[in-house]
């Protein structure tokens, strides 16, 4: 379905982003990976995608908290791919503390990586999308883009912000073949969440698996984690012709969390 399209997935060296990159490659899209990690492991991931799906996979190590590195990454996509047809803004970090204890540098980093980076990639990707009158922008927001939890001020602010950004981009491109949508996952058991599970296990002096079960059951009526692959297939759907008239929306994949 996506043969000949070029996708950039930020924060795709692990977790949800990697699953989204694989899901798009599974539909024939060439993909540019981005994110941090061990150079050898990232190269194995890149080669693995090329081999498994028969597509071209590139990697940019751009630090998305730095606008000049984002510009370099987008230039690489323009030079090597001719531009980004499918932009998935997914890179994200988490930090938990009460507002009055929230370290200023953590606030700045979360807003820069989880929100501002999407503004930069979007503004740099849109001219190519407008020229060809087709494009897909998919932003990984969160259930925390719709509702709040204590101790997550920066994350919740950034995720509510990215849903707002998505809506504006959707309106500004409404008469074109470009769509912009957010996906709002509930709990997905990735590295980002594993840290929160371990902290909960230590705090309550309980085994990690019990802490995981408690964590998911607190929020998901389904009492079950969402998988990265389910988010990957949601992104594929948003890139399909069936979603041509879906724009500016937020799709919850959260086991019923935000239905309550
Ligand atoms: P993860 O930690 O596995 O992945 C985060 C990715 O972002 C990694 O590839 C990491 O290298 C990259 N990254 C971090 N800082 C970066 C930077 N400065 N520059 C470039 N890349 C950077 O976590 P995940 O759970 O897969 O998170 C992916 C996205 O999904 C995030 O935006 C997160 O907020 C969102 N999300 C996660 C959950 C969940 O339960 N896991 C729920 C809702 C939303």
Where exactly are the structural domains of the chain?
6-186+226-254, 188-224
Average pLDDT on 164-172 reads: 99
Rg (CA), the chain: 18
Confidence of residue 231 (pLDDT cuts 50, 70, 90): very high
Q: Does ligand 1 lie within 6 Å of residue 247's CB atom?
A: no
- In the reported structure, the alpha carbon of residue 16 is separated from the centroid of ligand 1 by a whole-number distance in angstroms of 7
Provide the pLDDT for residue 87: 99
- In the reported structure, the alpha carbon of residue 131 is separated from the centroid of ligand 1 by a whole-number distance in angstroms of 30
Q: Which two tokens stand for residue 165?
A: 């950004």
Provide the pLDDT for residue 140: 98
Q: Does ligand 1 lie within 6 Å of residue 185's CB atom?
A: yes
- Ligand 1, atom nearest to 231 Cα: 30
**8 Å CB contact between 7 and 29:** yes
Give the separation between CA 152 and CA 154, rounded to whole angstroms.
6
Average pLDDT on 30-52 reads: 98
Q: Does ligand 1 lie within 6 Å of residue 212's CB atom?
A: no
- What tens digit of pLDDT does each residue of 112-123 get? 999 999 999 999
- Catalytic annotation, residues: 155
Average pLDDT on 220-226 reads: 98
Determine the residue of 9, 12, 16, 142 to mutate for testing ligand 1's pocket, defined as the one with the most ligand atoms within 8 A of the Cβ atom: 16
Q: Which residues pair with 182 in a beta bridge?
A: 139, 250
| Fold annotation for 6-186+226-254 | Rossmann fold (3.40.50)
Collect all residues with Cβ–Cβ distance below 8 Å to 53 and sequence separation of at least 6: 22, 25, 26, 28
CA dist 128 to 60, 83, 131, 133, Å? 19, 6, 5, 8
pTM above 0.85, yes or no: yes
**Cα distance from N-terminal residue to C-terminal residue, the chain:** 36
CA dist 219 to 14, 61, 69, 141, 173, Å? 24, 34, 36, 17, 35
- In the reported structure, the alpha carbon of residue 95 is separated from the centroid of ligand 1 by a whole-number distance in angstroms of 12
Provide the pLDDT for residue 14: 97
């Amino acid at each position: 379905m996506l043969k000949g399209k070029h996708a950039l997935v930020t924060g795709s060296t692990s977790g949800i982003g990697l699953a989204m990159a694989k899901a798009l490659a599974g539909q024939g899209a060439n993909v540019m990976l981005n994110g941090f990690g061990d150079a050898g492991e990232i190269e194995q991931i890149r080669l693995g995608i090329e081999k498994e799906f028969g597509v071209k996979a590139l990697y940019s190590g751009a630090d998305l908290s730095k606008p000049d590195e984002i510009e370099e990454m987008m230039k690489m996509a323009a030079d090597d791919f001719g531009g980004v047809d499918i932009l998935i803004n997914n890179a994200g970090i988490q930090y938990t503390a009460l507002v009055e204890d929230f370290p200023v540098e953590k606030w700045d980093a979360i807003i820069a990586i989880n929100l501002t980076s999407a503004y930069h990639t979007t503004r740099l990707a849109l001219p190519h999308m407008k020229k060809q009158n087709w494009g897909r922008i998919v932003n990984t927001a969160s259930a925390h883009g719709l509702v709040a939890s204590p101790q997550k001020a920066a994350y919740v602010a950034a995720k509510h912000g990215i849903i707002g950004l998505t809506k504006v981009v959707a309106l500004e491109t409404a008469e074109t073949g470009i769509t912009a949508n957010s996906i709002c996952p509930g709990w997905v058991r990735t590295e980002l969440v594993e840290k929160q599970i371990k902290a909960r296990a230590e705090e309550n002096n309980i085994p990690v698996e019990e802490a995981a079960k408690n964590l998911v059951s607190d929020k998901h009526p389904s009492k079950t984690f969402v998988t990265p692959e389910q988010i990957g297939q949601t992104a594929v759907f948003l890139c399909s012709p069936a979603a041509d008239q879906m724009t500016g929306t937020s799709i919850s994949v959260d086991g019923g969390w935000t239905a309550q």
